[in-house]
């Protein structure tokens, strides 16, 4: 299987993860013009599962290093399979709430608040489990990201001061999504031998196998989570599975593309975790908050009617995010 052998390549993969995780929601925005997010989300989940299968039978099954996918899956221990599967279930619960927050509040709010919180808690959890990187730089970076989230939340509240119900719901969904999102990575990382992808311990999985099991967890749990939201949505009228199957092929493919983009980022991130460490790898990947905020502010114009004080808050948000991510990268030197 393909393995990353140096820190520089690992950081490059984490940056690519950041771009993927921060950009997939553009497909939701595109589909959302004519398509409910609950229906979009099924195609998105299918895209994640499809990518995990492609990745497992290509990069995960070629080369001389590590165990090939099928062999690795056959020897995987039950505890590790359950751990990766639970990671998928937790991720799906978090991400479906994040998608609801995007539909209500936009990318420029849902990502900085929700995924920003996930970055803070996730880095702390993953650093506690595997202490790679200089803690002074990691925690200072996390503190700056916290400031960025605060600036973003204040800016959003100012823009939506006349609609407190929407403002509160959007931020609340983002916060709950972020809280849940901070835990999923620890479960999937625990199912792998992070210290040695080339010769992993018996029972542990390679990143490619772990991603596949993780994706199965997402897919199966979606029958529960998304079925509930289809009947009882956070906003708007209930929809149905008949509406889903009545959608246009182009609309379905847009959702699948979103899942493929996120899945690519997820695989790159876990491959990089062996050299960068889970705390740095996860933290940089969740720098997707910055990428999504850039999309939301400059492409989707989610703050286009904002006053000057709000624009200043957004500038400080971007400065704190960039500085915080820079320190997290430097911490692994």
**Better-scored residue on pLDDT, 127 or 89:** 89
- What is the tens place of the pLDDT at every residue in 218-236? 999 999 999 999 999 988 8
Give the length of the chain: 333
Residues 6+ apart with CB under 8 A from 229: 38, 96, 100
pTM, to two decimals = 0.88
Angle at 137 between CA 135 and CA 138, to 5 degrees: 60
Nearest-angstrom CA–CA distance, 101 and 219? 20
Is the pLDDT at 145 greater than 60, yes or no? yes
What is the Cα gyration radius of the chain? 19
Residue with tokens 């709010």: 109
Q: Comparing 245 with 114, which gets the higher pLDDT?
A: 245
Contacts of 74 (CB under 8 A, 6+ apart): none
In a domain, 75, yes or no: yes
CA-CA distance, 260 to 248, in Å (whole number)?
19
C-alpha span between 331 and 138 (Å, rounded): 6
- Reported confidence tier of residue 149, pLDDT bands at 50, 70, 90: confident
pLDDT tens digits, one per residue of 267-288: 999 999 989 888 888 888 888 8
In a domain, residue 110? The reply is: yes
Is residue 250 in some structural domain? Answer: yes
Is 161 strand, coil or helix? Answer: coil
Quick: pLDDT tens for 287-323: 887 888 889 888 888 788 778 888 899 999 999 989 9
Predicted local confidence at residue 162, as pLDDT:
59
Choice between 162 and 222, residue whose per-residue pLDDT is larger: 222
pLDDT at residue number 333: 65
pLDDT confidence band for 119 (50 / 70 / 90): confident
Position 163 scores a pLDDT of: 58
- The string of DSSP codes covering 23-76 is HTHHHHHHHTTTS-HHHHHHHHHHHHHHHHHHHHHTTTT-SSSS--HHHHHHH-
In 3-state terms, what secondary structure has residue 192? strand
Residue 44 has what pLDDT?
97
Contacts of 237 (CB under 8 A, 6+ apart): none
| Per-residue pLDDT band at 165 (split at 50, 70, 90) | low
* Residue 166: band (very low, low, confident or very high) from pLDDT cuts 50, 70, 90: low
Average pLDDT over all residues of the chain: 90
* Domain interval for residue 196: 7-330
How far is it, in rounded angstroms, from Cα 197 to Cα 325?
A: 26
For residue 293, is it within any domain? Answer: yes
Asked whether residue 2 is assigned to any structural domain, the reply reads no
Is 311 a member of any domain?
A: yes
- Number of structural domains (the chain) is 1
Give a yes or no: residue 1 inside a domain.
no
Q: What is the pLDDT of residues 43-75, one digit of tens each?
A: 999 999 999 999 999 999 998 888 999 999 999
For 294, the token pair is: 């850039």
* pLDDT score at 97: 94
Query: Is 275 or 115 the better-scoring residue by pLDDT?
Result: 275
Q: Is the pLDDT of residue 170 over 90?
A: no
- Residue 211, pLDDT score: 97
């Amino acid at each position: 299987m393909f393995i990353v052998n140096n820190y520089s390549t690992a950081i490059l993969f984490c940056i690519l993860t950041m771009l993927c995780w921060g950009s997939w929601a553009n497909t939701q925005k595109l589909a959302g013009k004519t398509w409910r997010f609950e229906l979009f989300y099924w195609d998105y989940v299918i895209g994640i599962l499809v990518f995990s299968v492609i990745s497992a039978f290509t990069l995960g099954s070629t080369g001389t290093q590590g165990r090939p996918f099928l062999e690795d899956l056959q020897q995987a221990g039950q505890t590790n399979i359950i751990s990766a599967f639970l990671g998928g279930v937790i991720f799906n619960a978090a991400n479906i709430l994040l998608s609801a927050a995007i539909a209500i509040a936009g990318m420029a709010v849902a990502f900085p608040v929700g995924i920003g919180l996930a970055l803070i808690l996730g880095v702390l959890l993953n650093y506690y489990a595997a202490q790679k990187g200089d803690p002074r730089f990691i925690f200072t970076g996390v503190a700056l990201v916290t400031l960025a989230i605060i600036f973003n939340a204040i800016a959003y509240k100012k823009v939506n001061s006349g609609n407190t119900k929407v403002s509160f719901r959007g931020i609340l969904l983002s916060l709950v999504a972020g809280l849940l999102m901070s835990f999923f990575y620890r479960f999937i990382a625990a199912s792998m031998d992070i210290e040695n992808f080339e010769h992993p311990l018996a029972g542990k999985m390679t990143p490619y196998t772990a991603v596949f099991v993780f994706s199965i967890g997402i897919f199966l749990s979606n029958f529960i989570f998304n079925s509930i939201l289809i009947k009882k949505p956070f906003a708007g009228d209930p929809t149905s599975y008949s509406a889903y199957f009545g959608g246009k092929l182009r609309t379905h493919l847009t959702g699948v593309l979103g899942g493929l983009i996120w899945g690519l980022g997820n695989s790159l991130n876990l491959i990089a975790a062996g050299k960068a460490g889970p705390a740095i790898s996860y933290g940089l990947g969740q720098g997707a908050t910055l990428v999504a905020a850039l999309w939301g502010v400059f492409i989707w114009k989610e703050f286009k009617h904002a006053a000057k004080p709000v624009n200043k808050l957004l500038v400080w948000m971007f400065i704190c995010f960039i500085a915080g991510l820079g320190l997290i990268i430097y911490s692994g030197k």
